[in-house]
Amino acid sequence: MSMEGLGQPTASFGIFDHLDHAGGSLRQQYTDRLKIAAACDEAGFLTYHVAEHHGTPHGMAASPNLFLSAVAQRTKRLRLGPLVMLLNLYHPLRAFEEICMLDQLSGGRLDLGIGRGAPVELSFFGVSAEETHDRYREAAEIVLKAMETKRLTHSGRYFNMYDVPITLSPIQRPHPPLWYGAMKPETARWAAENSINIACVGRSATIRAITDVYRAGWKAPPTQVMPLLGMVRIMVIAGSDAQARALAAPAYARWIETFTFLSRTRDLPLPPNLPTSFEQALNDGFCLVGSPSTVLEALKRQVTEAGVTYVMSQIAFGDLPLSASLQTISFMRSTIMPALADPFG
């Protein structure tokens, strides 16, 4: 637990990836990402999380489960999963079947992130903003219900099924670990009550308000381990601060260009709390860039300030070269991860 007054901060590490378009060959980008996943597996990262986006160059994993099935075949221990699978774009029975297949293909390594999706992206598929909340809740209910039955019957507003034979199942029972993006304290309270891992984005103080509510709402028995409280951070580590910044600055500019694509082309407001410049991202603590010692000290401080137990590292973004991502993985394996490991874990 990473809280003030409790000594050395500790955290485990995973990868978060928008799989945003680097601007070159998409086939090569997929190949490079699979190399990164294999390196993360060797380095001891916990999970590879992949976002789902549509109609934007900020997300080239439109079918995250398809990409992750390839990751599963190139890794042995690394857990993997969508963050999040947009249930509003799936028939829940089809979503359930894909989830079961991926858990089976990976040998029970699936972490399942589920969510609603951005209204503009859902609109491309004819899903209106007014129905996203209720439709998502109904789909999630069906997916989880299917995990626990051999015959599925459901009558609802959006979906109706009667006596459907359930012939697939996940390895992890009753279902794979669940993840949700927690952007506000109210969401954290719900996630804590349902034992769901959370992923947070923002400044450390903003995240701390969310993790404090989660801990206050966590009522499970002492024998049950608390789910992970994660924060997303872009990370570039090199031999010196100057070298790391020279790599990260142009890549961040490319990342922002794809991140804001739909906002710019559809005349929509920019995503809230988004550092639009590299310097602002550094000042906000969203980007951790520098030598191993520089990043380690910043990360120790942020883990404590944010009250998180899990760091979701964006080590591949924009047009950052593959070699830079692999170098960051190497430094994290040798320096960052051992320094923040739980000695009692």
Question: Kind of pairing, strands 12-17 and 310-314?
Answer: parallel
Average pLDDT taken over every residue of the chain: 95
Phi (first) and psi of residue 206, to 5 degrees: -65, -45
Mean pLDDT over residues 184-190, rounded? 93
Is the Cβ–Cβ distance between 337 and 43 less than 8 Å?
Answer: yes
Alpha-carbon gap, residue 204 to 210, rounded angstroms: 10
Alpha-carbon gap, residue 298 to 116, rounded angstroms: 33
12 has pLDDT over 50: yes
5 has pLDDT over 60: no
All domains in the chain, ordered by first residue = 12-340 (3.20.20.30)
Strand partners, 48: 15, 80
Alpha-carbon gap, residue 232 to 63, rounded angstroms: 21
Alpha-carbon gap, residue 182 to 189, rounded angstroms: 10
Q: What is the pLDDT of residue 236?
A: 98
Quick one: which of 135, 131, 120 has its CA closest to 90? Answer: 135
Alpha-carbon gap, residue 112 to 140, rounded angstroms: 11
Mean pLDDT over residues 252-273, rounded? 93
Q: Residue 332's pLDDT band (boundaries 50, 70, 90)?
A: very high
Quick one: which of 300, 163, 285 has its CA closest to 232? Answer: 285
